[in-house]
Amino acid sequence: MVARYSGASTATADCLVRTSLLLLTAVATVSRTAEAVLSVNATPEYIHPCRKSDTQFNNCIKQTFNHLRPYLINGIEELTVPPIEPLLIPKMQMENGHGAVRVRAILSNMTIHGASNYSVLNVRSDMNKFRIDLGLFIPHIEATGNYDVNGNVLLLPVRSRGDFWVSFENVTALAKLYGVEVKKEGVAFMKTDRLGVGFKLENSDFKIKDSINRQNVIGEAMNVFLNENSAEIIEEMKPAASQAIGKHFKNFLNNAFLQIPLKVWLKDSE
Tens of pLDDT, residue by residue over 200-229, are 777 777 777 777 766 555 445 544 555 565
pLDDT of residue 33: 40
Integer Cα distance of 170 and 263 in angstroms: 35
Determine the residue type at 84.
I
Assigned domain for 270 exists: no
Q: Helices (DSSP H) in 86-210: which residue ranges?
A: none
Do β-strands 156-184 and 131-153 pair in parallel, antiparallel, or remain unpaired? Answer: antiparallel
Assigned domain for 115 exists: yes
- Which distant-in-sequence residues (6+ apart) come within 8 Å of 44 by Cβ? 38, 78, 264
Neighbouring CB atoms inside 10 A of 23's CB total: 26
For 32-70, how does the pLDDT look when each residue is reduced to its tens digit (9 = 90+)? 344 457 777 778 898 899 998 899 999 999 999 899 888
**CATH code (residue 23):** 3.15.10.30
For 105-131, how does the pLDDT look when each residue is reduced to its tens digit (9 = 90+)? 788 998 989 988 888 999 999 988 999
- Total domains in the fold of the chain: 1
Confidence of residue 137 (pLDDT cuts 50, 70, 90): very high
Determine which of 3-7, 8-12, 97-101, 136-140 has the lowest per-residue pLDDT on average: 3-7
pLDDT of residue 184: 87
Assigned domain for 56 exists: yes
Assigned domain for 240 exists: yes
Assigned domain for 98 exists: yes
- Mean pLDDT of the chain, nearest integer: 75
**By percentage, how much of the chain surpasses pLDDT 70?**
68
- Which distant-in-sequence residues (6+ apart) come within 8 Å of 239 by Cβ? 96
Assigned domain for 16 exists: yes
Q: pTM score, two decimals?
A: 0.73
Assigned domain for 129 exists: yes
- Which distant-in-sequence residues (6+ apart) come within 8 Å of 88 by Cβ? 30, 82, 110, 111, 112
Assigned domain for 251 exists: yes
Integer Cα distance of 105 and 150 in angstroms: 7
Domain range enclosing 78: 2-265
* CA torsion, ordered 245, 163, 158, 223, to nearest 10 deg: 100
User: For residue 242, is pLDDT > 90?
Assistant: no
